[in-house]
Amino acid sequence: MQAEEVAALAQRIADQIARVIVGREEMIRLLLAAVIARGHVLLEDVPGTGKTVTARSFARCVDGRFSRIQFTPDLLPSDITGTRVYRQDRGEFIFHEGPVFTNILLADEINRATPRTQSALLECMEERQVTENGVSHALPEPFLVIATQNPIEIQGTFPLPEAQMDRFLMRLTPGYPDHEEAMRILDRFRRDEPMKHLSPVCDCQALTEAQSALPLCEAEESVRGYIVSLCEQISRDERTMLGVSPRGMLALMRASQALALIQGRAFVTPDDVRRLAEPVLAHRIFVRGYASPADQAKQIVRDALQTVPVPTEVR
């Protein structure tokens, strides 16, 4: 699939989601970039800002398997990955697949489960498989996790472990609508439920073909050097306790390639990197002793963008 075809597919999906979600064009575009990059997305904000609706709307646009897990404190790892059940008629234990065996998994309010249960997704998200009793079971392709969570200040939440956060390609924040958007929301939902009228615009095969186009998007040496310099500057910052890992560097490069593709380009520009630096890197940074670590992590990324020189030529 060529860059123009990927861009056309992304636009069709975005137009369909826009029938439900008012505004948030930038968030939807970044969500689609994460999907093309085969990455997972964390939607974080206070309750009622459209996190779950956004995830469900995207799932409706793709004709594939969809599962939703409501994370609660009593949820067990086997409730996610599956478990072995004894079949008396066969005289043996049979593995019963859990809801993670799907194409699109909505992990709703993921930080309301305990860290032990959250960790059940680690292997699924990174290696796209489930290992049970020494046997590995491959997950379907494509496989995407869209997780929602409330800020950790909200009552009854558990912070996600560092390894779990690092497996999300992006963390996106819907935010509150402005006055005009709020009026459009009320008008759109006052008589009907728009999501009922959404229909698929592509199948999983088309999504997989779009993902396979990622290596065709060129990231010049100057752009790759810019990515490395940004990550090094963040890790050197005195406010940083845990900096950006090699996985984070790769995530920023792949997300930049995907963003270029959905804009119809087969090459990455420094503007793509700058646009994605905060949603891709901020949630991977752990800062020293600040009351609002998430806000401070975002500031560290912004300061790095101001400090590191931007390449002037990429082709």
Residue 134: its pLDDT value, please? 81
pLDDT tens string 10-20 = 999 998 888 88
Least Cα distance to 150 among 168, 167, 170, 174 occurs for 174
pLDDT-derived band of residue 238, with 50, 70 and 90 as boundaries?
A: confident
pLDDT-derived band of residue 148, with 50, 70 and 90 as boundaries?
A: confident
pLDDT tens string 80-127 = 998 888 777 777 788 888 899 998 898 888 888 888 888 888 888 889
Q: Please give the model's pTM, rounded to 2 decimal places.
A: 0.87
Cα(259)–Cα(81) distance, integer angstroms: 31
Residue 260: its pLDDT value, please? 94
Q: How far is CA 243 from CA 35, 60, 61, 163, 300, in A?
A: 25, 36, 36, 13, 10
Token pair for 259: 């963003």
Q: What is the 3-state secondary structure (H, E, C) of 195-238?
A: HHHCCCCEEHHHHHHHHHCHHHCECCHHHHHHHHHHHHHHHHCC
Average pLDDT, the chain: 87
Cα(159)–Cα(140) distance, integer angstroms: 28
Identity of the amino acid at 315: R
Question: Residue 229 pLDDT more than 90?
Answer: yes
- What CATH number does the domain located at 1-211 have? 3.40.50.300
Residues of the chain with CATH 1.10.8.80: 217-309
Question: Residue 251 pLDDT more than 90?
Answer: yes
Residue 307: its pLDDT value, please? 92
Question: Residue 268 pLDDT more than 80?
Answer: yes
Burial class for 85, CB neighbours closer than 10 Å (0-12, 13-18, 19+): exposed
Residues of the chain with CATH 3.40.50.300: 1-211
Is residue 195 within 8 Å of 56, Cβ to Cβ? yes
Q: Fold for domain 217-309?
A: Helicase, Ruva Protein; domain 3 (1.10.8)
Residue 287: its pLDDT value, please? 85
Q: What does the pLDDT average to over 65-81?
A: 89
Count the alpha carbons within 13 Å of 156 in the hemisphere toward its beta carbon: 8
